[in-house]
Chains A and B, each alone.
Chain A
Amino acid sequence: MAATLAQKIWADHIVREHTGEPDLIYIDLHLIHEVTSPQAFDGLRLANRKVRRPDLTIATEDHNVPTLNIDRPIADPVSKLQVDTLRKNCAEFGLRLHSLGDVEQGIVHVVGPQLGITQPGMTIVCGDSHTSTHGAFGALAFGIGTSEVEHVLATQTLPLVRPKTMAINVEGTLKPGVTSKDIILAIIAKIGTGGGQGYVLEYRGSAIRALSMESRMTVCNMSIEAGARAGLIAPDETTFAYLKDKPHAPKGADWDAAIAYWKSLKSDDDAKFDVEINLNADELAPFVTWGTNPGQGLPLSAKVPNPAEISDPEERGAAERALTYMGLTAGTPLKNIKVDTVFLGSCTNGRIEDLRSAADILKGKLISKEVRMLVVPGSARVRLQAESEGLDKVFIDAGAEWRTAGCSMCLGMNPDQLAPQERSASTSNRNFEGRQGKGGRTHLVSPLVAAATAIRGTLSSPADL
């Protein structure tokens, strides 16, 4: 029977299928970090259980870690306890951990792909909703809660209800200055933050196929912002070229066997999706959010919307609250909005191509005197690569701060936070109230818009320079 890509991966991982029960699905890779795992390890200890497959598990420190002075002990005692707890748990249960200071340390969703342990056709989970990032490789990857983390540690499986599938077709060619971040922000604005609930999204079409692996990761990363636990893209030559020679990519005969399997991983031509959405890439422009959820976004050339013109009462109320929180007046051109801080980083846009594209704009220029800009590489490897290309100098010469790897200001669990009423243009994934610091105001943007905004001090695209 014709099947979608998500259905094929699902079928290949069913351990147990029984009427009236969820399917028991095998998990190929479990990623762990310090915030959502301590209670799961406690549960194992209480029940006297082991980690079933330490060889399919990998941990890194990312959410809490400082991005300055990492050679010193973590200053916040509560953050330090959480990181120390991860170290103790990994030692006790025999798990691979990349700690602060290790060359493979970084944001869990940047580390997996760069090690080549994220591969097509896999099931990948992590106690973090941006696990959907790994879907860029044609893997079924999704975030889980701590109870499920414990379940995977103990059994390497999860009982799951089969999801529906949604095709998102993006045809055409992106204009210069328009990026994959703009594609996904436009998709979320179109289907809403709940539009993908219960679905696995499959991003398809010529505009998606033309994207690099890193740009594809940006798209899949924000699937959860549309309500979908997972989003994926069928693997192709771009995927295979990215994986070839990565440390954990298959070698020799295993590579050939893997390629043969990976090439079968695409939705059949006559496969039926439960829903199909179409987007024209030619019509896309740089996108920016104005509100307090990722669906509240518009092209940068637009104006702050007027809630009175929104017919749906729920949406109208949400827009009114958002404008109050964001300190914005309806009708203000988005390009007139002044920002205090620019954040370039996160599992959405903290990879080397993101840093290169922003550095291209900043080269030989100075950021506005009224703006602070934080550049936080997604991993220690990304940082080293950027330094080998001289990107760190470009950022520092422009007046930005060059930091070490971690989640940083995306969620402000470490000292990198916005002050109350401080406004940011951020390449991260969530503009929720207080996400980047209590009272902070976040506008989600692409790395190109982030760089141009840092220079001008107001929301801008490179075309405005």
Chain B
Amino acid sequence: MDKFVTHVGTALPLRRSNVDTDQIIPAVYLKRVTKSGFEDGLFAAWRNDPEFVLNNPEYAGATVLVAGVDFGTGSSREHAVWALQNYGFKAVLSSRFADIFRGNSQKAGLLTVVLPQESIEAIWSAIEADPKLSVTVDLEAKNVRYSEVSVPFEIDDYTRWRLMEGLDDIGLTLKNIDEVTVFEGKRAAFKPKTLPALS
């Protein structure tokens, strides 16, 4: 996964709450067996509406998505994260994310930033007033900056370190794989196994 330290780009205001992963990418677009090529499915149903913000050429090239509360609810499909990344987004700002979506983002290197709803509203207003406004998402300094404004955000140190180093979780766990072997030696005998198959 790519390292994320600081990102500078323009932003897209998505003034909707409860954006579920079926909206981010509908199920019919989930049939690919790769991690690429999902950009066409991003917000596919909403994009049919010419008024939908993603169709507004003023925001073309935006890399920071600024969304309403409860972004990424519903299905666990990581395709939602890939669709955002394939389209070009590097970070999503919202006042609350669904747990699984946030976890998936952090594994795949899409930064999810939780800001107070007032800050989200202020950023919406600022980018609607100037769609080419430069927005900086700084993971090192833990803040979002635009114009003269700087808004701090919280993220746990472990996730921040992993994202800044671009580290793969599996590699980290494999360093401690002996501890997994020890744990397995102590598991109760009655725990079920799927093999051999019984029916």
- Report which A residues bind B (CB closer than 8 A): 15-16, 20-22, 24, 26, 28-29, 35-36, 38-39, 42-43, 47, 49, 52, 54-58, 63-64, 76, 78-79, 81-82, 85, 96, 103-104, 115-117, 119, 122, 127-129, 142-148, 150-151, 154-157, 159, 161, 193-194, 197-198, 224-225, 227-229, 247-250, 254-255, 257-258, 261, 293, 314, 317-318, 321, 411-413, 430, 432-435, 438-439
Contacts and interface: CB of A to CB of B under 8 A. Distances in A.
A157 B177 CA distance: 10
Contacts of B170: 43, 47, 49, 150-151, 154-155
Contacts of B141: none
B100 A82 contact: no
Given A129-B75, A145-B78, A56 B183 contact: no
Contact of B18 (A29, A161, A224, A293): A293
A433 B52 CA distance: 15
Nearest to B75: A129
Nearest to A293: B18
B17 A317 contact: yes
B104 interface: yes
26 contacts: A47-B170, A54-B194, A81-B31, A96-B197, A116-B192, A122-B192, A127-B78, A128-B76, A148-B104, A151-B169, A193-B73, A225-B74, A229-B99, A247-B199, A248-B193, A248-B198, A257-B188, A258-B188, A314-B68, A314-B69, A321-B16, A411-B27, A413-B28, A413-B30, A430-B74, A433-B45
B157 interface: yes
Contact of B27 (A43, A147, A314, A412): A412
A227 B73 contact: yes
Contacts of A155: 170, 173-174, 177, 180
Interface in B13-57: 16-18, 20, 22-23, 26-28, 30-35, 45
Nearest to B81: A145
Contact of B74 (A129, A144, A247): A129
A255 B77 contact: no
Contacts of A64: 31
Contacts of B16: 321
* Max count, chain A CB within 10 A of own CB: residue among B32, B45, B190, B192: B192
Interface string B140-170: 0000000000000000111000000000011
B179 A16 contact: yes
A29 B194 CA distance: 8
A314 B17 CA distance: 7
A167 B40 CA distance: 41
Contact of B73 (A57, A117, A194, A249): A194
A143 B74 CA distance: 10
Nearest to B117: A314
Contacts of A157: 173, 180
Nearest to A259: B190
Contact of A104 (B20, B96, B172, B199): B199
A75 to B, nearest CB: 13
Nearest to A126: B76
Interface of B: 16-18, 20, 22-23, 26-28, 30-35, 45, 68-70, 73-79, 81, 96, 98-100, 103-104, 107-108, 156-158, 169-170, 172-174, 176-177, 179-180, 183-184, 187-195, 197-199
A36 B173 CA distance: 21
A147 B78 contact: yes
- What 9 A-B pairs have minimum CB-CB distances, sorted nearest first? A145-B104, A147-B107, A145-B78, A38-B33, A143-B76, A254-B190, A78-B31, A247-B198, A129-B76
A157 B45 CA distance: 37
A129 B100 contact: yes
Nearest to B20: A432
Nearest to A86: B33
A247 to B, nearest CB: 4
A54 B197 CA distance: 12
B191 A122 contact: yes
* Max count, chain A CB within 10 A of own CB: residue among B156, B179, B195: B195
B80 to A, nearest CB: 9
A79 B28 CA distance: 9
Contact of A229 (B23, B74, B100): B100
A15 B157 contact: no
A142 B198 CA distance: 25
Contacts of B69: 194, 314
Nearest to B17: A314
Contacts of B173: 24, 151, 154-155, 157, 159
Given A154-B174, A194-B98, A29 B70 contact: no
A434 B194 contact: no
B33 A82 contact: yes
B31 A433 contact: no
Given A104-B199, A115-B199, A411-B27, A161 B156 contact: yes
A52 B104 CA distance: 22
B76 to A, nearest CB: 4
A224 B157 contact: no
B152 to A, nearest CB: 21
A255 B190 contact: yes
Nearest to A254: B190
B192 A198 contact: no
B74 A432 contact: yes
B124 to A, nearest CB: 13
Given A145-B76, A250-B192, A227 B31 contact: no
A56 B194 contact: yes
Contacts of A435: 22, 27
Given A55-B195, A255-B190, A257-B188, A194 B70 contact: yes
Contacts of B75: 128-129, 411, 430
A88 to B, nearest CB: 10
B108 A147 contact: yes
A193 B33 contact: no
